[in-house]
Chains A and B, each alone.
Chain A
Amino acid sequence: MAQMLTANRLKDGAVLYWRGENWVEALAEGDVFAAQPEADAALAQAQASVAGNDVVSPYLFDVRDGKPVKEREIIRAQGPSVREDLGKQAEPSTSPLWGGRKSEGFSGGGKAGAHAPHPKNAPHFSTSPQGGGQESEPDVSI
């Protein structure tokens, strides 16, 4: 399965995605890695920004047709599901390509944007762990 690389920015915790040799705020602008070696290479390259105290705990996550597979990553990419007026979903510049969680008919390519994801979404089965580095408690609201 295709993967993307994400982390949180140290100074404010913002969700970031890897593009080229740097981080961007919008998932739609991030690189999609079709093959494991290039995903691993990006993760290795991103360690420099951990050492440089720019980001915290980068990791790879699975995407299908440019959309995260796990709900956790959909929430990170969009913002809180209980406050759709907040977070990336409320900012046109960072709102995700697939049109938000209200969108029913996801067609695969997403709407046309300035930064389309890489077209190479060849299936690749990854066994790399998802998530991690999150100390949220099971019952985090209490």
Chain B
Amino acid sequence: MYRYDEFDARFVAERVAQFRSQVARRLSGELNEDQFKPLRLMNGLYLQLHAYMLRIAVPYGTLDARQLRMLAHIARTYDKGYGHFTTRQNIQFNWPRLVDVPDILADLATVEMHAIQTSGNCIRNVTADHFAGAAADEIEDPRPIAEIVRQWSSLHPEFSFLPRKFKIAVSGAAHDRAALKFHDLAVEIVKIGAGETGYRVLVGGGMGRTPYIGYVVGEFVAKQDILACGYEDGTVLMVRLNDGAEILLRRPGSSPTTALAWNAKGTLLALSDEEGDAGIFPL
């Protein structure tokens, strides 16, 4: 399971402080509802029939005991003793008071949780098989891909103001427990015969008012085999993901690598370093 680094922790703490200030300004009248609504929706806070509703992200449905205990604490302290786990593996509290929400978000931040991107027209929390890592019919654990998607889509400026919400699911098992075909984009880990694993890619599905079943755009997409990585000491490596084999492109000892880029076909790798050296390697 992913653990926050210092930047994640600082960002989430800053967001909590911002929202605390926004709530205070709303209550004092400095912000009116039209101004405040987009701000609260960015933090997963809806105003529904009976009360406010706070939707908290549970990335690909994975919680540790510490986080589960914190959710229970929030349910007892600020809500009516329960929460509602959603189809897409988030959790909603249905009776929070607006005045308490900054404290709830602060409590969540202590266990590396938040309510960012749980509402609004952005890329929502990634869904995976809830038996991921423990399913007998699993080809591969879907959570590494789900985590890569989560990192890429979190606060991505190009995907924060979409015309519609956008949902992604990943599954690594023969039996679909992630409702792949009802997602805008879905990745299914599949195996050809007894050998190679790759991805079946589906697009266009959706739930809601007009449910739509997604269709397959790639029956078998081979894994991107090779990853290039550059280091501070100037080392540049290519790593084959299937078996972990490494190829050294540049020895350690030169200045820090500043950029790496593949051409579209994945046949050429360009690199540069801090002293202005650059080069192109054919694969």
Using a CB–CB distance below 8 Å, which chain A residues touch chain B?
8, 10-15, 50-53, 56-57, 72, 75-76, 79-80, 86-87, 134-142
CA distance A14 to B99 in the complex (A): 13
CB of B98 within 8 A of CB of A136, answer: no
On whether A141 and B98 interact (CB within 8 A), knowing A53-B27, A56-B33, A76-B49, the answer reads no
Interface residues of B in 58-99 (CB under 8 A from A): 80, 84, 86-88, 90, 92, 94-95, 97-99
B193 lies within 8 A of chain A by Cβ:
no
List chain A residues, Cβ under 8 A from B28: 53
Interface contact B41-A13, CB-CB below 8 Å: no
- A15–B26 alpha-carbon span in the complex (Å): 19
B47 near A8: Cβ-Cβ < 8 Å: yes
Nearest to B30 among chain A residues (CB) is A53
A11/B27 in contact, CB under 8 A: yes
Compute how far the CA of A87 lies from the CA of B119 in the bound complex, rounded to whole angstroms: 24
Q: A11-B97, A75-B49, A76-B50 are in contact. Are A142 and B86 (CB under 8 A)?
A: yes
- In the assembled complex, the Cα of A104 lies from the Cα of B177 at a distance in Å of 40
B88 touches A12 (CB 8 A): no
Cβ of A138: which chain B residues have Cβ within 8 Å of it?
208-209
Docked CA distance A57–B50 (Å): 14
CB of A13 within 8 A of CB of B86, answer no
Residue B37 lies at the interface, judged by CB distance under 8 Å to chain A: yes
With A53-B27, A135-B41, A142-B207 as known contacts, state yes or no: A15 contacts B50, CB within 8 Å. Answer: yes
**17 interchain pairs, CB-CB under 8 A:** A8-B51, A10-B27, A12-B99, A13-B51, A50-B33, A51-B29, A53-B28, A56-B47, A76-B50, A80-B50, A87-B50, A135-B37, A136-B46, A138-B209, A140-B53, A141-B84, A142-B86
List of A residues within 8 angstroms of B41 by Cβ: 135
Minimal Cβ-Cβ distance residue in A for B29: A53
CB of B224 within 8 A of chain A?
no
Interchain CB contact under 8 A, B86 and A72: no
Interface of A is mostly: loop
In the assembled complex, B262 has its CB within 8 A of some CB on chain A:
no
Q: Which residue of B lies closest to A8 (CB)?
A: B47
Is B48 close to A, CB under 8 A? Answer: yes
Q: Which residues of B contact A11 (CB under 8 A)?
A: 27, 97-99
Chain B residue at minimum C-beta to C-beta distance from A141: B86
Question: Bound complex: CA of A80 vs CA of B48, how far in Å?
Answer: 11
Q: Is B231 an interface residue (CB 8 A)?
A: no
Neighbour of A57 across the interface among B29, B33, B49, B88, CB < 8 A: B33
The CA of A136 and the CA of B94, in the complex, are separated in Å by: 12
Cβ contacts under 8 Å, B51 to chain A: 8, 12-14
Whole-angstrom CA separation of A132 from B48 in the bound complex: 11
User: Nearest-CB distance from A139 to chain B (Å)?
Assistant: 4
Interface pair A139/B50, CB less than 8 Å apart: no
Kindly state whether residue B52 has any CB partner on chain A within 8 Å. yes
Q: What residues of B have a CB within 8 angstroms of the CB of A56 in the complex? A: 33, 47
B167 CB to nearest chain A CB (Å): 8
- With A and B bound together, what is the CA distance between A141 and B84 in angstroms? 9
Contacts of A79 in B (CB 8 A): 50
In the assembled complex, the CB of A76 is this many whole angstroms from the nearest CB of chain B, namely 5
Closest to A76 in B: B49
Taken together as a complex, chains A and B put the C-alpha atoms of A94 and B2 apart, in Å, by: 46
The CA-CA distance from A136 to B90 in the complex, in Å, is 16
CB-CB under 8 A from B92, the residues of chain A are 141
B194 to chain A, nearest CB (A): 36
Do B86 and A135 touch across chains, with their CB atoms under 8 A apart?
Answer: no
